[in-house]
Structure 1
Amino acid sequence: MSKILVASICALFLCVQVNAQEAVLRAFGYSAENEYCIVFNSSWTPLPPSLDNATLYQLVNLTSSVLCHQSDLPPEGLNGKAVVVMRGNCTFEEKALIAQSSGARAILIASKTSLSTPSANNTDKGVNIQVALVRYKDVLNMQEAFKDNISVKLYAPPAALFDYSILVILLLSVFTLALGGYWSGAAEQQEINLAALGGRRKAESRDEIQFTPLKVVIFVLGMCGILVLLYFFYKWLVYVMIAMFCIASAMAVYGCLAALVQMIPYGRCSFSFRDKTIEIRFFFLAAFCIAVSVLWAVYRNEDRWIWILQDVLGIAFCLNFIRVLKVSSFKICVTLLSLLLVYDVFFVFITPFFTKNGESIMVQVAAGPGATGEKRGGNIAEVPAEPTAPYENLPIVMRVPRLSSPTQYLCGMEFSLLGYGDIIVPGLLVAYCHRFDVWNNNSTKIYYISCTIAYGVGMIVTLVVMVFSKMGQPALLYLVPCTLLTSALVAWRRKEMKRFWAGTVYEVLDSKEPLLQEDGGESCGHIQ
């Protein structure tokens, strides 16, 4: 049975294909050829799936006309040819029927605006020629390159339903979460070991923040406010967020690499600055981290490669966030994750009923107003009029190019996205689970491992639902139940639910030795 299930999943992901709405126009001249992006509607006359199956047409340039009347046709007709006309004044279908009446086999509609999929509400009127939209800029390029002797082929390479970028997103998210949770537990173990040697435990590290119920509520309300502000004032606040990301990512990379640099036995000479001693190696490390952050800021719109640096900075940001933010009990974990689950679902599924364009606030903000390739779902396509028109994206997501998109470099880069919150929020629970393992001396790390596996299962469910529904999903809708229920089940089976729920090292540790304060008195306090 399991073999059949695995085979079925593989067949679904790897073999099933859908008709892409983006296609390729191959233009031929006397001694050269070039390819351009076009957008079509597969419910009209379909395009062949490959260049070899496509028919070669002589192209007639009628961009001086919109072809809304028979009088716009050339006297010699369009028998067996393709024609390119300007967009406007009448519907795509009316243009196609006029061209078809003159014997044309294909019609290209040149657009100076974005290329949106032609509607097909009235296809029963008999359009049986190929219809597609092309950028007017590309038509001018063809004229300049091939003069008046232009032949074209139109074809639509099929796109796989499953894109391998989803696997990359899955691996990145699980790796980051697992490493962040492990780091948090390892830091806790180190602190306990130091406390055992020094006779006391530090109440709180300088760079760590403890979550309390009040802080949880303020945190969630703050996220709601920021998201709404970004939706209404995106074009101004996006630059504030970019600046904040540069600072936070530089600090995060420094925090991640400092532990490694600490082990290097070189560059330990130091100098004094304002009564502080700074080691040379950490000075150069800080300079390197700032330089990397500035490099991203300068080239942030270079989609072809900058996504790699953004994902590296994002991983460091998530790792540092999971390490710095500490949840002291499962009770607070349940409160935090449940509130953020409601937040995620509301801003993805409910807000489309209130927005003018029917787009969810979460998707609109995460992908950016200009990122049509990242937001579209199903078989609706929209391509900018300018192939490389820059727009500002919020650096709050992991971005991986869609590796199976056949028109990736012609029609603009398309990305699979995963928000940092979908890693950080469950990561706080995984970090708590690992610290609980440390407090209880669980050599098998049962809480940490089981919660990490549950996160991986939740991510797989999220991605499968996304593939079938062909729309973005609020990942926390699947991740929160998977991780919370798994952690609770492990605690219940091990009969540790009471301690797991209450949390904090002082309640969990069954130590016979009193914990000492700095003045030598016994501490009966509770770390929050």
Structure 2
Amino acid sequence: MGLLRPLGLLLLVLWPQIYADEGILHAVDENNSVSKDYCITYNSNWTTMPLTYKNETSYKLENRSSVDLCIKTDILTTGVKDKAVVVIIGKCSILDKAKIAQENGAKMLLVTNKDRLPRMAENKSGYENLTIPIAFVGYEDIMGMSQVFSSSINVTLYAPQSSLLDYSMLIIFLISVFTVALGGYWSGLSELEDLRPSSGFSEIRTQKQKDDNVTLTPLTVVLFFVVCCAMLLLLYYFYEWLVYVIIAVFCLASAMSLFNCLSALIYNIPYGQCRISCFSKSAEVRLLILAAFCIAVSVTWAVFRNEDRWIWILQDILGIAFCLNFIKTLKMPNFKACVILLGLLLVYDVFFVFITPFFTKNGESIMVEVAAGPSGNTEKNGENWLEVPGASIVTHEKLPVVIRVPRMEFSANKLCGGSTSILGFGDIIVPGLLVAYCRRFDVRTTSSSVYYISCTIAYAVGMVITFVVLIVMKRGQPALLYLVPCTLITSSAIALIRKEMKKFWNGGGYEIMEHVDNAVSEENATCGDQESQ
């Protein structure tokens, strides 16, 4: 348990990603009218895509994927005239390929790549006369067309417009706010348990809860920040091995978190309280059954983790339990520690997203590369992750540090495999620790939950702002960039208005209540001695 907790903390890393234009290649067999859609990527600054393939001109597909079209002699004019030509990516510029294809009468250029669908980010200056559509299409898709269609294939390109909002985004919002609010409230209940006198078995439970709780001091917060940076760099260089370590840690930590969450409910059920003894240890039957259930859920996820259709449900259940358990057990001693934690992780998030591209060879941020793994690029817009198409190079494994909800609309993104909206655990846990501190401060100072409610609302507002920026900018944004200011500013404003900033900053409410508790205990003890005399 003690080892899993610091390892579990490393799962809080946030994975922002990049934005790419996606579209659809609509292929039709002239002989039997069979049609099929394939994913493409393109540069919207180069090519304007229609919203539908209907009423659009289609062109016969000419598969020349054995050549890279870097010199004019790679193709014959009669072979590509008025056709959509497919070539391999090669070493020369994509715009040079398009220029040669257009000069030879081609109406469309499709560039295929055996590894993944890359981004087209070249400068088009000097190629203003290029008018033919240019797009990337998967090599496996081109090769697979021969099995689906006959030799005569007509193709056209289009990009259906995605709606600004999707129900999956609403579900992600509800899950995040619910988890933060419940985690903070549960932390407050734990604080009440610590304050309430107990005896017998209840005392044992309370002592166990105290032993499980961990207080993050400013020093441990700084150390945690350093470990996060080191772990991210290790993942950047050794992803194909460390990803399995993270998966194993997630399985253990999430099973234990689910057990802790459900056991809080099980204790209120008056059944299965008989105990089984073994090797001088005893445990309740209901807790043994619950432990077996939690292990079964975790193992099931591990076995079927790459199943796209339904495994997201188990991952979300385990993820919610994971976040709830951490918010409840990790205690911030004062607002100062909260500011240090949230501030450092905000700097961490922004640095590894926006600054590291200036140092990497391919111009991508380290977070993008870690999030994508060896299999290619991925895309995250704030808290909403959209996976960019990519064929596997080394491993299909992804880091299990997200809440997943399938998108519910048909679009190019869904066809390309990016049909899931995703929220990182860190976007829940990091602000959730501040919400939990506010709740415990309310309990200690009897301030009628004003800090807790205000901070929870501020978190919800921060999530809304993140979604709005996502929709307007259409670019990846670190969610903490909006969540941290919203929660910290709101909490500070409440403390200033109530003239409690000094206690709130230093955790003075805890010290005052501890003195009161000690005084009450001493008074009770004195009264008891007098009565006995």
Q: TM-score, normalization: structure 2?
A: 0.82
Question: Which residue of structure 2 aligns with residue 373 of structure 1?
Answer: 378
Counterpart residue type for residue 249 of structure 1: S
CA–CA distance in structure 1, aligned partners of residues 118 and 478 of structure 2 = 26
Question: Which residue of structure 2 aligns with residue 28 of structure 1?
Answer: 29
Question: Which residue of structure 2 aligns with residue 11 of structure 1?
Answer: none
List runs of 5+ in structure 2 lacking aligned partners. Answer: 1-18, 528-533
Q: Cα distance, 1:325 vs. partner? A: 1.1
Matched, 1:269 2:274: yes
Contact 2:95–2:124 (8 Å) recurs in 1: no
Counterpart residue type for residue 27 of structure 1: V
CA RMSD, aligned part only?
3.5
Corresponding residue to 2:49 among 47, 50, 54? 47
The 1:482–1:299 alpha-carbon spacing in structure 2 relative to 1, beyond 3 Å, is same
Matched, 1:143 2:149: no
Question: Which residue of structure 1 aligns with residue 155 of structure 2?
Answer: 152
Question: Which residue of structure 2 aligns with residue 312 of structure 1?
Answer: 317
Matched, 1:236 2:241: yes
The 1:339–1:162 alpha-carbon spacing in structure 2 relative to 1, beyond 3 Å, is same
Q: Cα distance, 1:254 vs. partner? A: 0.4
Contact 1:367–1:394 (8 Å) recurs in 2: no
The 1:482–1:359 alpha-carbon spacing in structure 2 relative to 1, beyond 3 Å, is same
Question: Which residue of structure 1 aligns with residue 262 of structure 2?
Answer: 257
Counterpart residue type for residue 299 of structure 2: V
Aligned-partner SS, 1:38: strand
CA–CA distance in structure 2, aligned partners of residues 179 and 62 of structure 1 = 58
The 1:159–1:389 alpha-carbon spacing in structure 2 relative to 1, beyond 3 Å, is farther
Matched, 1:423 2:454: no
Q: Cα distance, 1:205 vs. partner? A: 1.2
Number of residues of Structure 1 aligned to a counterpart in Structure 2? 500
CA–CA distance in structure 1, aligned partners of residues 339 and 75 of structure 2 = 69
Question: Which residue of structure 1 aligns with residue 102 of structure 2?
Answer: 100
Contact 2:369–2:377 (8 Å) recurs in 1: no
Instruction: Among all aligned residue pairs of Structure 1 and Structure 2, give the percentage whose two residues are the same amino acid.
Output: 51
Aligned-partner SS, 1:514: helix
CA–CA distance in structure 2, aligned partners of residues 381 and 441 of structure 1 = 46
Contact 2:379–2:388 (8 Å) recurs in 1: no
Once the two structures are superposed, residues 119-154 of structure 1 have per-residue CA deviations (whole angstroms, 9 ceiling, x without a partner) of 462563523233323223222222222221222232
The 1:123–1:170 alpha-carbon spacing in structure 2 relative to 1, beyond 3 Å, is farther
Corresponding residue to 2:440 among 432, 435, 441? 435
CA–CA distance in structure 2, aligned partners of residues 93 and 300 of structure 1 = 40
Matched, 1:446 2:447: no
Corresponding residue to 1:247 among 242, 252, 255? 252
Corresponding residue to 1:290 among 286, 291, 295? 295
Corresponding residue to 1:384 among 380, 390, 405? 390
Aligned-partner SS, 1:368: helix
Corresponding residue to 1:480 among 460, 477, 484? 484
CA–CA distance in structure 2, aligned partners of residues 333 and 136 of structure 1 = 50
The 1:521–1:392 alpha-carbon spacing in structure 2 relative to 1, beyond 3 Å, is farther
Contact 1:373–1:415 (8 Å) recurs in 2: no
Which stretch of the first structure deviates more once superposed, 486-495 or 249-258?
486-495
Once the two structures are superposed, residues 197-252 of structure 1 have per-residue CA deviations (whole angstroms, 9 ceiling, x without a partner) of 999x9697121112333333333232232223222322222221111111100000
Question: Which residue of structure 2 aligns with residue 130 of structure 1?
Answer: 133
The 1:280–1:512 alpha-carbon spacing in structure 2 relative to 1, beyond 3 Å, is closer
Higher relative contact order by CA 8 Å / sep ≥ 6: 1 or 2? 2
CA–CA distance in structure 2, aligned partners of residues 463 and 381 of structure 1 = 17
Contact 2:379–2:476 (8 Å) recurs in 1: no
CA–CA distance in structure 2, aligned partners of residues 47 and 450 of structure 1 = 46
Matched, 1:350 2:352: no
The 1:501–1:65 alpha-carbon spacing in structure 2 relative to 1, beyond 3 Å, is closer
Aligned-partner SS, 1:412: coil
Question: Which residue of structure 2 aligns with residue 493 of structure 1?
Answer: 497
Once the two structures are superposed, residues 57-112 of structure 1 have per-residue CA deviations (whole angstroms, 9 ceiling, x without a partner) of 33334445444555555575555433334443654344434443444332333332
CA–CA distance in structure 1, aligned partners of residues 517 and 43 of structure 2 = 74
CA–CA distance in structure 1, aligned partners of residues 426 and 295 of structure 2 = 24
Contact 2:375–2:391 (8 Å) recurs in 1: no
The 1:151–1:448 alpha-carbon spacing in structure 2 relative to 1, beyond 3 Å, is same
CA–CA distance in structure 2, aligned partners of residues 381 and 258 of structure 1 = 36
The 1:146–1:120 alpha-carbon spacing in structure 2 relative to 1, beyond 3 Å, is farther
Q: Cα distance, 1:422 vs. partner? A: 2.3
Aligned-partner SS, 1:372: coil
The 1:314–1:371 alpha-carbon spacing in structure 2 relative to 1, beyond 3 Å, is farther
CA–CA distance in structure 2, aligned partners of residues 63 and 476 of structure 1 = 44
Question: Which residue of structure 1 aligns with residue 9 of structure 2?
Answer: none
CA–CA distance in structure 2, aligned partners of residues 72 and 342 of structure 1 = 50
Matched, 1:175 2:175: no
The 1:176–1:70 alpha-carbon spacing in structure 2 relative to 1, beyond 3 Å, is same
Q: TM-score, normalization: structure 1?
A: 0.83
Contact 1:27–1:152 (8 Å) recurs in 2: yes
The 1:52–1:394 alpha-carbon spacing in structure 2 relative to 1, beyond 3 Å, is same
CA–CA distance in structure 1, aligned partners of residues 96 and 518 of structure 2 = 87
List runs of 5+ in structure 1 lacking aligned partners. Answer: 1-17, 523-528
Counterpart residue type for residue 247 of structure 1: L
Contact 2:85–2:109 (8 Å) recurs in 1: yes
